[in-house]
Amino acid sequence: MNTQELVSAISRRLPALRRREVQEVITVMVELWREELSQTQGKIQIAGLGTLYVESHTLKATGVIRQRLLQKYGTRAPLTLRRRVIRFHPYETLRQRMNEEGTQDE
C-alpha cells in the first residue's frame, strides 16, 4: 500500500475528513516518525502491529571494503564504519493474523 492508497482508504472509512486533511495527518506522522527513527535509540510502537526501531552497529573496515575506502579517501579512510539496520518486531496478534493468512494461501 502506498501513501495515496492509504489516504483513499482512510477517506472512505472516515467520510467526515477531506482527503487533504488525511494527507496532512499522514505527512505530519511521517515527519514525527522520521525524527524519532533518526535518533540513536529511536523506537516507534504501533498499536496492533508492532515496534519499528533502528539498530546501529560499528564495524571494522577490512578486506575489500577497506580497499575501497582507501581508494576513495586515501590515508584519511576510516578504520570503522557505522551500519544502521531498520527492524520491525511484530506483536503476537499480527503474527497470528499473518499465520492465518499463510494457511489460507496453501
Q: What is the pLDDT of residue 64?
A: 95
Written as nine digits, the cell of 77 is 579512510
CA 52 from chain centre, in angstroms, equals 6
Taking each helix axis from N to C end, the angle separating 19-38 and 3-13, rounded to the nearest 10 degrees, works out to: 130
Vertex 88: Cα angle to 57 and 35 (nearest 5): 70
What are the tens digits of pLDDT across the range 50-77?
Answer: 999 999 899 999 999 999 999 999 999 9
Q: What is the pLDDT of residue 87?
A: 94
From the list 49, 50, 54, the residue with the least C-alpha distance to 36 is 54
Q: What is the pLDDT of residue 103?
A: 65
pTM for the model stands at 0.72
Cα separation, 43 vs 98, in Å, equals 23
From the list 66, 28, 33, the residue with the least C-alpha distance to 49 is 33
Q: What is the pLDDT of residue 40?
A: 81
Q: What is the pLDDT of residue 41?
A: 85
Q: What is the pLDDT of residue 105?
A: 52
Q: What is the pLDDT of residue 106?
A: 54
Q: What is the pLDDT of residue 19?
A: 96
Cα separation, 36 vs 86, in Å, equals 12
Give the residues of the chain that fall short of pLDDT 50. Answer: none
